[in-house]
Structure 1
Amino acid sequence: MALPPRLWAELFFDGTWNPVTRDLRKTSTVTFTRGLSAESSSAAAPTVCECVLDNRSFTYAPRNPESDLYGKIGRNTPMRLGYYAGSPWAEMPGTAGNSLTTPDAAGLAVTDLDLRIELALEDWSQQKLAGRYEVTGDNRSWGLMMGGTGQVSLLWSPNGTLASRIQEFSTEPLKAYNGQRLTLRVTLDVNNGAGGYEVRFYTGRTVDDEEWNLLGEPVVGAATTAVFDGTAGIELGDIADLLDDTMNGKLFAFKLLSGIGTAGTVAASMRTSDAGAGVRSFTSGGATWTVNGGAALTNKHTRISGEVPEWPPSRDISGNDSYVSVAPTGITRRMDAGNKPEDSALLRFIRADNPIECWPLTDGLTSTRGKSLVGGKDMVPVLTSGSVPPEWGVNEMTPGIEPVIALKKETRGTITGRVPNSTSAASLWSVDYFFATAAQGDCGTFSIYDRGANTDADNLVYFQIGCDQGSDDLTVFRFSQGETSSSFALISTVTSPGVFDGLMHHIRFTMDPGGSDSVWAIYIDGVQADTGTLAGIVVKAVSQVSFSWSLTTSDPIQKADTLLGYVTYWDSNGPTAAEMWQAATGFPGEAAGARIERLAAEGGYTATVAGESVHQELVGVQTRQKLLALMNEAARTNFGYLLDARDRAEVIHHGHSTLWNQPPAVTLDFSAGLISSPFAPRDDDKLTENDVSVRRRFGQVPARQVLESGALSVLEPPDGVGRYDNEYTYSLYTDGQAAGTAAMLVHLGTYDGVRYSRITLDLANPRVAQMIDPILRLDVGDKVRLTRLPKDHGPDDVDVLVVGYTEEAGPDRWRLVLNCVPAEPWTAFTLDSDTYSRLDTAGCELTSGITATATSVAVTTTALRRWIDSATYPTHFPFDIRVGGEVMRVTACAGTTLSQTFTVTRSVNGVRKAHDAGEGVALAHPVYLSL
């Protein structure tokens, strides 16, 4: 392949992306760095690109007022770069009429349906994907769509009419990050043999995958069905007669089978790789496909979409050449700038939800009043003569939130704040406050005043909420006050409110004014404690709130400080009481991916997650750390990767469920010269951990997992490798999770194989260049398979996971260096899988020695469970075993006791030798229990 590769570069200014490719120095190497830099790294660094722009015209000088870009570029100007390389895909811009179509043909009729589409959507919701569906003439056959909440949807009609149309949705939403490339598959068994139909939804990597990940549960219909044939052609991207949004993203391939899996025959297929970039018509799968509307075939790869933090001017020694070396970097760089910890989960949550007013009362040590979070009036304390002032900035109500004001014992006073007039609160408002008091303390009296004029015609209505430790109750009083008359009433008594324990508690009072009556509710710690109606009273919006305390020794109960904070006023758009309590307690039990998405949104960023929510680990209390540290903490708990998106200013997360049981993204044959130097495998103990303790943050006793037998156990050599112990702290929801986390760390730390930490691919090598499409698709979290390795590496294929890479493109090289970790530990047991549903015995050995050519092998199981026999389970054969490094294929097994005889094919992995009695027998490719 000619060097340098065909690079492109763009800057964002004037509201659009503008090409700057002509100024990209082709004589300098462009370097992309992404993901983890080493196997033991705990978090990915920001994606970065290093490149040089020609600046002899001083265009790229933000301080040059004569530059065409003066005032348009500067710190953190968006920049993206990539290649034109490999096969094209269909860019689908998401507007009506953008599609790939092929006309009706005789072979499009299906019985059972197996539908697959490989794509990458900008947003995985509410989009049309593929269909054979025309309203005219009742030619409705089938359609595939993304639902509004992320569920995948299949609809079909047995006879072409709308009245007979059936639509089913996946029981779980698809969880993919924006722009993620994957394959959706849906199968329809029109007659499941039990009088009904069955629909299954899957995800995979390509339309040709043999192993698929089931999305949700199978959907079973009560009656058999059929798929109408009709005369409609196939539309991809925009199905004109369906109402959802047109596909917005990239389209790569499509396949329709009549019949399911290996029992099916291909009715239609399309691969954009069969076309050339820019063409409007091409042949694929024996059919002609037309590119319509704004859809276009392109091979413009984006390798980074980042921001330029600086524009350092440079020139050669003669002064005749001027250039600027820039390093556009992913959005995570800016997210991690500075050293200030993030506000607490509660404060971040309140700020993100735009309250009408909020006084956190988290002001510093020298404060004398509480500043408004939204720029309103201060909350001012007024003390009874002789009282000690409140203490600011020292006392926490609970771990993970900011210190709040402490109202000191032996003092009396009131702290008052006036709220802005809000018409939006006239129809519904809520006021929150948080407090903590000891068992012999007082939580004071909280008062809320409406905007009444304090006249007989317009009473001032206010409410007082107080807790009495002596009687162990919470009371709510209503007061109405005019010029000549007033009234009051006890409207609620909540017995045993459970707030006198020194811990943080939350009170919310909500008012829903009606035309003649008002409905109120009181909440304690996110749960409604009481509600009622104020007959004949219409409460207005709030004018001010205050908190009064009297912690003097005249009352023998009052012997402790009271803490107060986060006084907040909301309209009907505010969060629920339960959400406020969750935020205050740090969202314990939140799914890791949900935390990443929420944290990003609260900070004004976008994050999307790959991996269904049901498979995400639950994280513990959110503490005060920097934003990126909090997101990486959740990713670490979920055993996944947090990265800059490659093609947009977003953050993506690969959850651990996306790493298990992957098909290889690329297979590299070492003997074919596909791997270049440097290539330095290591058979060492760098990643070894066989004794791991994991403590849950804020938990009690750490959980410990130890590998006590086997080649990498804590036993002294030669029975093991000795003890390699470590202790970690994780953000976990329950102490029980700590044991699973420790077990996973031991599992990953006791992989018995060679480490291939660096794999180098020379993309200018013609043999490697033929694989450019899957290679450029490679990203962090993908699996690479190494085959036909030298004998000193062992006889088997080796799988690795990509955790990062460095890519160099220039006049003398185009090289990709992959940073990798072993992938075998990410092989999980899966029910109903042809590949991953077989479990090993807990111990087995050769009953007697065998020669290098013997095909009858006597084995004795030393554990409780024997091998299956072929007479009882004929469809479960063959399978592979490993004996002394030789892989044998078991084609039959005789015997139903612990002593059995295998019939085998020898030397499956190229090793053939004699074996002694007592040698271990195990599955050649074991699977493991996933998280």
Structure 2
Amino acid sequence: MSYLTGDPLGVRIRIAFGAAIAADPATWTWTDVTEWWHAPVDVNIGWGRSQGAVQPETSTMTLALKNSDGRFTSGHPMSPYWPNVRKWTPISYDIDLGDGVGWRNRYSGYIRRWPLTWPGRSAEMALARIEAVGILGRVNRGSPPARTPMYRTITAARPVAYWPAEDGVLSQQAAAAIAGQGPLRVSGIVEFKRVPDYSYEGITVTRYGTAALADLSGGGQLAAALPAAAVTATAAGAWTVHAAIRADYSTLPSDTVLMEWTCDSGTYRRWQLKMTTLSRTQVIGYNVAGAPTTLIDYGSTTSTFVSYGVSASVSAGTVTVRLDGGPATNLPGSTTFSGQLGGVLSVAVNPASATATAELLAGHVAVWARAPLPVEAVPTSSVDAAGVFVREARRSFQNESAGDRLRRLAAEDGVPLTMPTVPLWSYQRMGWQPQSTPMPLYEECEAADGGLLYESGFGLAYLPRAARYNAPVTLTIDADARQLAGAFEPTDDDQLLRNSWTVERTEGSSATADDPASIAVQGRIEASANLNLASDAPLADQAGWRLRQSTVAEPRYPSVGINLGSSRELAAAWVACRPGSRIQVVNPPPQAVPGVIDQLVVGASETFRGRQSWRASMSVVPAAPWQVATAGGARRAATDGSTLAADTDLAGATVVSAGFAATAASSWPTADVGGSWTVEGTASDYSASGGVGRMALGTVLVSRRAIVGTSRADADMVATITAPLAVDGDIQPMLGLRWTDNNNTYLYVVELRPDQSIWAGIEKRVAGVQSTIGKTQTALAPGAALRMRARARGTLLAMRVWLATDPEPTTWDCTGTDSALTAGRQACRAILGTGNTNVAPVVTWDDVRVFDPTTLSLASTAGLWTTKASAMPLDLAVGGERVTVSAIAGSSSPQTATVSARAVNGVERSWPAGTPVQVWQPAVAPL
């Protein structure tokens, strides 16, 4: 037994008391608190984003725990969890459907509040009404300062000491980035200035990933002693000293020392990074006696803004020293010597207070207890997976793909992120990473790529744009089976309509895309977006893609609800839904737009009441804009110029058109199309006059029948009938489909009753035994000519009756399913019911037609459809209505198309010859 078959839902609530939330969740210790769950209070969970939200939103959960003994009271010393009943403690809510899969997580987050209540002022019923939020609620706490790319990258590499020197113009020190460390001392003339962009031929090529740095050209100096913990860490056998400096040797005095640092022990106690008179870059070590040794002598200098890193490590008495300006510069060099290595005591920039005739900018002074330089020498500094050169932090990660940037940013912030592989063809290149806070940086990546960022577990998940295309259906909701819950109210409004989009590139150009047809009817409704893109080239495509999203011609669905307590068969599929999952509502209410309602989930709320009641309400957006062309896929190029070659009725191509132009006794004439009638019974009961066929019914319970056409599995048959008023017994004209003989057929019956009511019913006769499949009373009154339609499609049987002077309705009076009969001819049949004393009443038949639902005749443009025959099925739009074609035959016009589905969108119409034929959804290229 399981929840799917009626058992209570398995529920597990766990709290990680004492967890360090910055640590890996796999290291947390969990406590099961399910036994204190107060089930009468709803568990409310919200995830994803609300409809219309353009930014990621945090998930939420509320639930109540019984707290009579104060165990969930924050700060209560008698709590078994003291002192760990505190804010931002992780909590998890899991369910088990009993289907063998095990626990499924429905919520992972952090307790933001532990409010206490006493219902009825009873201490015995004290409750802790927990409120929790997801990781976005945690990341968005407070007002974090905006950080530069270099600051973020360096701090993420965990230095033991770091002074960004990104201070304001009035600064008298360079603040430390690590709490508890003192600032860099500023001496001499120091002015904080922005590092100028690097330009080539008047075009800005590089924007450096830093804020204003210290200009030491007036003889200024930056210096600091490392804290004791940092000295100890670097004394363990490896260190790296780093500074970012823009120094043009031609403006400096000879042999300028850019950076100097001291050690507490080792072969060399003082170290220098120097630019020499011969335009060389050197690393020099000074022993305890002050004697220098040139350890690295690189034959070049650079005047651009460079990250200089000097690292040293010792192993078995051999010290390795390396000069590294980052892989994007030309300053590599290394050496080894036998000796010892001490810990770093102090560091200084421009220690000799040299002056320069141009700016001498310096900052990002950092020390690591590791070697070699841990920043910049990473994949994003060179060629990425697509073979494209990407800049490093120093150059603001220019040209980085949106997916790679998001993954890197999350790693820098210590936020777990899951993301499927992004296809190389869909890489969206980004511009310079700005100085900003985490969430705007994440959102900038999402906006550029067009994917979906959301919470998953105790981290984030990202669904790239490419993964949103042509999503498989995860959940199907059958409205006929009452699987919809709550208000299902499609709204035809313009809340999400935007028919003119302008997309601008940050500090770049712009492009606009319009929908002229929508603007002409509804007026211009504009929208705009500013995207951080690497170039102007994608702007037109970005604008067009957004226009496609916001002009879809479908109603808006504020919510789609399901009751998982009464429709438990949906539970397993529902728990597989995530933001971006595709759902479909089939058999919608008749008042809704006909056809399948195809949507993508962007968020949802769930309510659990105990272990039996479970409801969900989804925020959705149309799936249609995300259905795009793929190689060999169902969406093809447009087909302007093709038409229907012949009339096609609601059911398909006409295969029998049985007229009654001749007047002959004892027979019905030859059908116009499809062969001759075969009449059974007394010949004199059949005649034709005035253009109609006549059947005289002289005997109770003895049928008259006329058979026409060839054997077909599926067909529609229509006819116009007239009959006298029934007096004391039924008069029953009927159509027969899948007719083998009078004892084996489906009968679609119009019952004209003595009470002057008219009923529609479907009967089956198998081996002479007749039974009812379905029957219903119509709203019609007798006396006028009636039109009726009978349909057999697979196991589906349907019929409708209407006044011959009215348009044919689109709904069925009677439907049913049956599989007893699979094929046969078509028939007109009539019979008098028991008790009928009418003397030979006459039933007349006119405009009898049989339609083949599987064929259309296409007058095609040269060779157009024959090229599609190898890639079926193909959805066509015939007169604006959707038809699925499974094969196309013939190489010249007209061609015959085999139809596998008519009225795919739930509406059928008659189509005359010449009706335009197009592909239902012409190929739309993905962004």
- Output the TM-score relative to the length of structure 1: 0.65
- What is aligned with 1:391? 191
Aligned residue in 2 for 1:276: none
Cα distance in 2 for partners of 1:919, 1:687 equals 33
Indicate how the Cα distance of structure 1 residues 912 and 617 shifts in structure 2: closer, same or farther if over 3 A, else same. same
Q: Residue 736 of structure 1: SS of its match in structure 2? A: coil
* Contact 2:45 2:62 survives alignment (8 Å): yes
> Does structure 1 residue 19 correspond to structure 2 residue 13?
no
Matched to 2:112, the amino acid is P
Mapped contact 1:879–1:890 kept (Cα < 8 A): yes
Q: Name the SS for the 1:748 alignment partner.
A: helix
- What is the rounded CA distance, in whole Å, between the counterparts of 1:594 and 1:878 in structure 2? 38
Which runs of structure 2 are paired with 1:351-390 in the superposition (5 Å)?
A: 351-363=155-167, 367-374=171-178, 375=180, 378-383=183-188, 389-390=189-190
Please tell me whether the aligned partners of residues 185 and 222 of structure 2 are also in contact (alpha carbons under 8 angstroms).
Answer: yes
SS of the residue 2:434 aligns to: coil
Q: Report matched runs for 1:374-773 at 5 Å.
A: 374=178, 375=180, 378-383=183-188, 389-392=189-192, 395=194, 403-407=211-215, 411-419=218-226, 421=231, 430-436=240-246, 445-449=257-261, 451=263, 462-466=271-275, 475-476=281-282, 478=284, 491-494=297-300, 497=302, 499=304, 504-509=305-310, 520-523=322-325, 526-531=328-333, 544-548=346-350, 558=357, 560-570=358-368, 571-572=370-371, 574-579=373-378, 582-612=392-422, 614=424, 615=426, 617-645=428-456, 648-697=457-506, 699-708=507-516, 711-712=517-518, 714=519, 716-717=520-521, 721-765=522-566, 768-773=567-572
Q: Is the 8 A contact 2:247 2:303 kept in 1?
A: no
Contact 1:885 1:911 in 2 (8 A): no
Provide closer, same or farther for how the CA distance between residues 919 and 692 of structure 1 changes in structure 2, counting only shifts above 3 A: farther
Amino acid at match of 1:746: L
Q: What letter matches 1:313 in structure 2?
A: L
> Is the contact between residue 605 and residue 650 of structure 1 (CA under 8 Å) also seen in structure 2?
yes
1:875 correspondence with 2:675: no
Q: 1:696 to 1:442 in 2, by over 3 A?
A: farther
Tell me what 1:141 maps to. Answer: none
The one-letter code of the counterpart of 2:619 is N
Q: Structure 2: which amino acid aligns with 1:301?
A: R
**Is contact 1:426–1:513 with CA below 8 Å preserved after alignment?**
no
**Partner residue of 2:747?**
none
> 2: distance between equivalents of 1:543 and 1:57?
54
State the shift of 1:566 in Å: 0.3
2:45 is aligned to: 32
Return the offset for 1:819: 0.7
Would the aligned equivalents of 2:265 and 2:343 in 1 still touch at CA under 8 Å? no
Aligned partner (choices 860, 863, 884) of residue 879 of structure 2: 884
State the 1:881 CA deviation.
Answer: 0.7
Distance in 1 (CA, whole Å) between partners of 2:413 and 2:422 is 23
Q: In the superposition, relative to structure 1, how do residues 18 and 908 fare at CA in structure 2: closer, same or farther (>3 Å)?
A: same
Superposed CA RMSD: 3.9
Is the Cα–Cα contact under 8 Å of residues 37 and 44 in structure 1 kept in the other structure?
no
CA apart distance, 1:350: 1.2
User: Residues of 1 paired with 2:248 and 2:272: CA distance?
Assistant: 24
Matched, 1:841 2:638: yes
Deviation by residue 1:245-299 (Cα, 9 ceiling, x = unmatched): xxxxxxxxxxxxxxxxxxxxxxxxxxxxxxxxxxxxxxxxxxxxxxxxxxxxx3x
Match of 2:774 in 1: none
Distance 1:576 1:401, change over 3 A: closer
1: CA distance, partners of 2:910 / 2:546: 36
The 1:377/1:72 distance shift into structure 2, 3 A limit, reads: closer
Query: What residue identity is the alignment partner of 2:630?
Result: T
**Distance of aligned partners of 1:407 and 1:887 in 2 relative to their CA distance in 1, 3 Å threshold:** closer
Partner in structure 1 of residue 110 of structure 2: 307
| Distance in 2 (alpha carbons) for counterparts of 1:342 and 1:878 | 54
Aligned to 2:857: 857
Whole-Å separation in 2 of the counterparts to 1:488 and 1:28: 75
1:494 shift after superposition: 2.0
Change (3 A) 1:413 1:772: closer
CA 1:846–1:11: 2 relative to 1, 3 Å: same
Mapped contact 1:611–1:656 kept (Cα < 8 A):
no
Check the 8 A contact 1:9/1:81 in 2, yes or no: yes
Residue type of the alignment partner of 1:523: G
Q: What is the aligned length?
A: 678
Residue 929 (1) aligns with residue 925 (2):
yes
For the structure 1 residues 324 and 449, does the alpha-carbon distance in structure 2 shift closer, same or farther, using more than 3 Å as the test? closer
Specify the alignment match of 1:912 in structure 2.
908
SS at match of 1:771: helix
Residue identity matched to 1:331: I
Structure 1 contact 756–820 (Cα < 8 Å) conserved = yes
Opposite residue 114 of structure 2, the aligned amino acid is W
- The Cα offsets for residues 808-860 of structure 1, whole Å up to 9 and x where unpaired, read as 1226953211110001221232224xxx2541226344266734243443445
CA, structure 1 residues 489+307, in 2 after alignment: closer, same or farther (shift >3 Å)?
Answer: closer
In the alignment, structure 1 segments of 5+ residues that lack a partner are 90-297, 384-388
Deviations along 1:521-546, whole A, 9 cap, x unmatched?
45367323353658999997765443
Indicate how the Cα distance of structure 1 residues 69 and 753 shifts in structure 2: closer, same or farther if over 3 A, else same.
same
1:822 and 2:622 correspond: yes
Instruction: Quickly say closer, same or farther: Cα 1:23–1:330, change in 2 above 3 A.
Output: same
Aligned CA distance change for structure 1 residues 64 and 429 (closer, same or farther; 3 Å): closer
Deviates more, 1:699-708 or 1:430-439: 430-439
Matched-pair contact (CA < 8 Å) for 1:355–1:574: no
Taking the aligned partners of 1:773 and 1:706, their CA distance within structure 2 comes to 42
Aligned residue identity for 1:76: W
Structure 1 residue 782: Cα displacement = 0.7
1:903 paired to 2:897:
yes
**Correspondence 1:108-507 to 2 at 5 A:** 298=102, 300-316=103-119, 318-320=121-123, 321-363=125-167, 367-374=171-178, 375=180, 378-383=183-188, 389-392=189-192, 395=194, 403-407=211-215, 411-419=218-226, 421=231, 430-436=240-246, 445-449=257-261, 451=263, 462-466=271-275, 475-476=281-282, 478=284, 491-494=297-300, 497=302, 499=304, 504-507=305-308
> In percent, how many aligned pairs have the same letter?
21
CA distance 1:477–1:427, change in 2 (3 Å) = same
Q: CA deviation at 1:66?
A: 3.0
Aligned to 1:77: 89
Q: Deviations over 1:405-464 (max 9, x none)?
A: 43266x22332334554676787654332234799966974033564989xxx6766444
Deviations along 1:31-89, one digit per CA (max 9) or x if unpaired, are 11111111x20123211112222223333212333333331311122222243335221
- The CA distance in 1 between the partners of 2:288 and 2:78, in whole Å, is 70
In structure 1, what is the Cα distance between the partners aligned to 2:433 and 2:90?
31
| CA deviation after TM superposition for structure 1 residue 307, in Å | 1.6
Rounded to whole Å, the distance in 2 between the matches of 1:436 and 1:901 is 74
Contact map agreement 2:269 2:288 (CA 8 A) in 1: yes
The alpha-carbon deviation at position 927 of structure 1 amounts to 4.6
SS of 1:742's equivalent in the other structure is helix
SS at the partner of 2:572?
helix
2-structure distance, mates of 1:485, 1:761: 81
Q: Which residue of 1 aligns with 2:757?
A: none
Using the size of structure 2 for normalisation, the TM-score is 0.65
